[in-house]
Amino acid sequence: MIPASIPRRLREEWKEKYGIAEDDIVIGRVGHCWDEKGFPEFVSVAKSVVSKCQAEGKTPHFILCGVDSVDGNREVETQLEEAGIRQYCHLLGTRPDMPQVYSAMRVHLSLSRFESFGLVLFEAAACGVPSAGTDVGAHKKIEGEGIKIFPPRTSPLSSRPDLWNTESVVDAVMKLIKETQSPQGQKEMAQSLIKRTASFSLERMVQRLSSLLDGQIDLGAPKSLVSEDKLPPFRPITRSVKIRYPRILRL
């Protein structure tokens, strides 16, 4: 689990390094700049957010992290330039300081068209950062205050109707910005998000796995995998898993 917070001084130093003023709006995205990861959707949302922020006299910044989110990637830069938002985007590449990066954000976007789990949305929440995301992977498991979930844009091979709506996501982003405008609003939102990520800790994952292998969780009832009342009282069990199921920890 990524640390839930960092000292305010580090956030201020990080933003100063990239020329971001204290009152500027920072919106982040973490992941590959692929269609499957919703990069075209991010560009369309970012373009509308820039217009709305400017109309309110605010300065937006978008920080993009990932192996291909780097200066000099002409494919990515061209899409941002064509949308007229290149000057608002910071391409940070792969980062060793992700807790600081997440904590500098006011809002995080995760607009993938499909995911197996969707880890970055949970990472942002663990750092107290609200998100707008698509209904893929496990995103619905953490939906609530500070987490707005929307239908994803479907792939050409999907038989589902395309329910993607850029303006709905933009409106949610602007609402999250407003809700976190004050330090108190940010604090309350962060506390709620951090609390909801507790059930997705490494310890709980190991406990669920051990219970599953011990036959305490019914394979025929997948919902029980995320139902806390189906789990035995928590106990440190990593050692017992290693002894009884040594191959699992080598996978």
* Residues 86 and 154 both lie in one domain: yes
* Residues 211 and 140 both lie in one domain: no
The span from the CA of 79 to the CA of 160, in Å, is: 27
Q: Which amino acid is at 248?
A: I
Q: Which of 213, 215, 217 is nearest to 247 (CA)?
A: 213
Question: Mean of the pLDDT values across residues 189-206?
Answer: 84
* Residues 244 and 193 both lie in one domain: no
pLDDT category at 10 given cuts 50, 70, 90 is low
* Residues 19 and 51 both lie in one domain: yes
Of all residues in the chain, the percent with pLDDT exceeding 70 is 79
The span from the CA of 69 to the CA of 95, in Å, is: 11
Write out the H or E segment, with its range, that includes residue 107. Answer: strand 107-110
Question: Mean of the pLDDT values across residues 47-59?
Answer: 96
Sequence-ordered alpha helix ranges (H) in the chain: 8-17, 39-55, 74-82, 98-104, 119-126, 166-179, 183-196, 202-213, 238-244
Check residue 233 and give its pLDDT: 54
Are 117 and 137 in contact by the 8 Å Cβ rule? The answer is yes
The span from the CA of 196 to the CA of 187, in Å, is: 14
The first and second tokens of residue 41, run together, are 């959707």
Does residue 61 sit in helix, strand or coil?
strand
pTM over 0.95: no
* Residues 184 and 245 both lie in one domain: no
Number of domains in the chain: 2
Q: pLDDT of 147-165, one tens digit each?
A: 999 999 886 666 677 888 9
71 alpha carbon, distance to own chain's centre: 22
Are 30 and 94 in contact by the 8 Å Cβ rule? The answer is no
Check residue 240 and give its pLDDT: 42
Q: What CATH number should be reported for the domain holding residue 48?
A: 3.40.50.2000
Of 198, 214, 239, the domain-final residue: 198
The span from the CA of 20 to the CA of 149, in Å, is: 28
Residue 1 belongs to a domain: no
Q: Which amino acid is at 226?
A: V
The first and second tokens of residue 71, run together, are 């200066």
* Domain ranges, residue 13: 8-198
Angle at CA of residue 170, ends 72 and 126, nearest 5°: 75
Does residue 24 sit in helix, strand or coil?
coil
Residue 3 belongs to a domain: no
Check residue 218 and give its pLDDT: 59
* Residues 188 and 231 both lie in one domain: no
Residue 223 belongs to a domain: yes
